[in-house]
Amino acid sequence: MWRYFTPAAAFLILGGLFAYALVRIQNGTLDPREIKSPLLGKPAPSFVLPTVANTAVKFDSASLKGRPYVVNVWGTWCPSCRDEHSALLVIARQANIPFIGIDWKDDNALAQQYLAQLGNPFTETVADADGRIAIDWGVYGAPETFLVGADGKVLVKFAGALTEAIWAEKFAPYLQGGG
């Protein structure tokens, strides 16, 4: 009566799936924790925000049209942002594309002081005082970094402190050739 073996067989299949998933997690080809941003492949949210340097001046993201750029969400209150800052300076210099900093729920004076002290990697830094734009970008926590392609679509989202190695692995491949 083979039908009595059905439950055992069904569980063996399930066990096989688990084993396969675990082996892939172990060798690094599968990461269930990695959350892909729903923004990937979608047009980047636009924004018009006052700049940190001078709040009377507004910066419009439409001015970035037609070329790739990076958006980095940070704040002076965020320790990991401070950790990634030196790496950002190097990366921004090498990448040679616009780096837009979104200063998230922050104090403008503190932000100016922070950039003056640690160096400014950003082509432009805008102040998102009430955090509304960060919500548009689906930001969970600072720092988060996005790469937007020349077609205006989001190519990469990375949450956490950026390093040169991560940049080389996740971001740089999109910038080869087409620049």
Partner 1 sequence: MIPEIGTLALLIALVLTLLQATLGLVGAHRQDAAWMRATTTITAGVFAFVLFAFLILVHAFIVHDFSIEYVAHNSNNELPLLYRVAAVWGAHEGSLLLWVLILSTWSMLVSRLSKGLPDDFRARVLGTLGLVGFGFLTFTMFTSSPFTRLFPTPLDGADLNPILQDPALAAHPPMLYMGYVGTSVAFAFAVAAMLSGRMDAAWSRWTRPWTVAAWMCLTLGITLGSWWAYYELGWGGWWFWDPVENASFMPWLASTALIHSLAVTEKRGLFRNWTLLLAIFAFSLSLLGTFLVRSGVLVSVHSFAADPSRGLFVLGLLLVFIVGSLTLYAVRAPSLQSEGGFAPVSRESFLLLNNALLVAAAGLILLGTLWPLVMDSFNLGKISVGPPYFNTVFLVPTLPLVALVAVGMHSTWKRASYASKGKTLGMLAIAGLVLGALVAFVCYGSYGVPLTIIGFGGGFFLMASSLWEPVVRLIRKQPQARAAVGMAIAHFGIGLFVIGVSGVASYKIEKDVSMGPGDVASIAGYDFRFLSTNDARGPNYTAREGHVAITQGGQPVAELTTQKRQFKIQSNAMTHAGIAVGWNRDLFVALGDELGAGKWSLRLQYKPLVRYIWLGGVFMALGGLVAILDRRYRRGVVEPVTVVGEG
Q: Which residues pair with 51 in a beta bridge?
A: 126
User: Nearest to residue 74, comparing CAs of 172, 173, 158?
Assistant: 158
**Between 6 and 117, CB nearer to partner 1:** 6
**Between 7 and 177, CB nearer to partner 1:** 7
**Between 83 and 164, CB nearer to partner 1:** 83
Binding site for partner 1 (CB under 8 A): 1, 4-5, 7-8, 11-12, 14-15, 17-22, 24-26, 30, 32-36, 105, 129-130
**Between 26 and 96, CB nearer to partner 1:** 26
| Cα–Cα distance, 109 to 162 (Å, whole number) | 25
Q: How far is the CB of 154 from partner 1 (least distance, A)?
A: 16
Q: How far is the CB of 22 from partner 1 (least distance, A)?
A: 5
Q: What number of H helices and E strands is found in the chain?
A: 6, 7
Contact (CB, 8 A) for 59 and 49: yes
Q: How far is the CB of 34 from partner 1 (least distance, A)?
A: 8
Kind and range of the H or E run holding 141: none
Q: How far is the CB of 114 from partner 1 (least distance, A)?
A: 18
CA 24 to chain centroid, in Å, comes to 25
